[in-house]
Structure 1
Amino acid sequence: MKNLKSKKQNTLTLVLFAIYLLALTWLILFKLQFSIPDMYGERVINPIPFLGSFCDSGMIQFSEIRNNILVFIPFGIYLCMLKTPWPFVKKLLAIAGLAFAFEIIQFIFAIGRADITDVLSNTLGGIIGIGIYALLAKALKGRTNKVINVLAAVFTILAILLVILLLISHRWVMIT
């Protein structure tokens, strides 16, 4: 009975993780656009950390860095849920690898600016996710994945509803 519950939890985690990865891809690669022509075609690579983060007034735009950190926090959490036995370094490499892959894809398809700052901030977000999972695991003991799955399911449903509203409003704008 306990093994069946554990298997259902793991399946739910995998489904939520897949939805998260789809949303992350839509966000990072497609910039939340509904059609590819809406995206700008730019093939730029920035290998210098924080260089692309400055606005016209010379100040660092921390909002972009913060957002890049925030969107990768769930990746670190899901990685811990799905790959508990992996050592920290292996999880870190998976996080940095995904962040780097997104930047390479952006460069290859000219759908954004490939920026080392994004890789660094995404990786930091994943590390924060690993830390959050570790804290929750200490506080919640054996219920950690169950609690995270419930919270993730609620946020996923809310996000899907938001996307539906955006699609409806986008369609409404196209009609009028």
Structure 2
Amino acid sequence: MNLQKKRRYSSDVNNVTNRLTTVLFIIYIIALAWILLFKLGVQFSYMEKRNVNLIPFGELFLNGKIDAGENLMNVVIFVPLGMYVGVLFSSWRSGKKFFFIFLMSLIVEGLQFIMAVGAFDITDLFTNTLGGIIGWMIFKATEKIFGDRFKAQKFINLIAGLATALVILLLFLLKMNLLPIRYQ
């Protein structure tokens, strides 16, 4: 293969990989909205009151305990955001990436309050942002391990594709009441 054909092939592969990353990111954003804003399509008329919690980890001080499960889920659900930000916005400085992750979390929390589907919770804002930063750090570590941003991106796409398929399957099974757990 001559050099010109090799460059064109490499460019075509990069374009396909970038498109795949963008599609996976869009699927992630839709799933995030469905889970956090539309509560998996479950009726949420029970949320008539809108609450605001401006005390970080306020439940620790009120009840003497933290709901570690909810905090952990908030971190985990935003890890992919950080990975996608690392891939899709590689030209941005770290501070801009972190601000974008924070802004996405702020938007989610604000929309939950506005739509009366959840409280605006400063703890969630913190844990969501932390999850995004952890995701970005995972991407950076993957990039370092592979020694190449493009190879790291392909690996992230593979993991994201598998995770997306798994999440869709689990959400379908949950929605059809085929799992031993129930969404409240």
Task: Name the TM tier (shorter chain).
Answer: 0.7 to 0.9
Spell out, residue by residue over 1:123-151, the C-alpha distance to the aligned partner (whole angstroms, 9 max, x if none).
11111111111111000122101111111
Distance between the aligned counterparts of 2:49 and 2:23, measured in 1? 33
Call closer, same or farther: CA 1:18–1:55 in 2, change over 3 Å: farther
For the pair shown, the structure with the greater C-alpha radius of gyration is 2
Q: Is the 8 Å Cα contact of residues 74 and 129 (structure 1) preserved in structure 2?
A: yes
Q: Which amino acid aligns with 1:160?
A: I
| TM-score (norm: length of structure 2) | 0.84
Matching of residue 19 in structure 1 with residue 27 in structure 2: yes
TM-superposed deviation, 1:163: 2.4
Match of 2:53 in 1: 46
Q: Is the 8 Å Cα contact of residues 44 and 117 (structure 2) preserved in structure 1?
A: no
Q: Which amino acid aligns with 1:91?
A: K
Match of 1:173 in 2: none
Q: Is the 8 Å Cα contact of residues 57 and 123 (structure 2) preserved in structure 1?
A: yes
Q: Which amino acid aligns with 1:103?
A: E
Classify the secondary structure of the residue corresponding to 1:98: helix
1:45-124 correspondence runs (5 A): 45-51=52-58, 53-54=59-60, 57-124=63-130
Q: Is the 8 Å Cα contact of residues 112 and 119 (structure 2) preserved in structure 1?
A: yes
Match of 2:4 in 1: none
Matching of residue 35 in structure 1 with residue 56 in structure 2: no
Match of 2:141 in 1: 135
Paired residues in the alignment total: 168
| TM-score (norm: length of structure 1) | 0.88
TM-superposed deviation, 1:36: 3.2
Gaps of at least 5 residues in structure 2 are 1-8, 179-184
Classify the secondary structure of the residue corresponding to 1:169: coil
TM-superposed deviation, 1:157: 1.2
Q: Identity over the aligned pairs, expressed in percent?
A: 38
Q: Which amino acid aligns with 2:66?
A: I
Q: Which amino acid aligns with 1:82?
A: L
Distance between the aligned counterparts of 2:33 and 2:61, measured in 1? 25
What CA RMSD, in Å, does the superposition of the two structures yield over aligned residues?
A: 1.8
Match of 2:14 in 1: 6
Match of residue 153, structure 1, among 153, 161, 173: 161
Q: Is the 8 Å Cα contact of residues 13 and 149 (structure 1) preserved in structure 2?
A: yes
Call closer, same or farther: CA 1:28–1:54 in 2, change over 3 Å: farther
Distance between the aligned counterparts of 2:51 and 2:63, measured in 1? 21
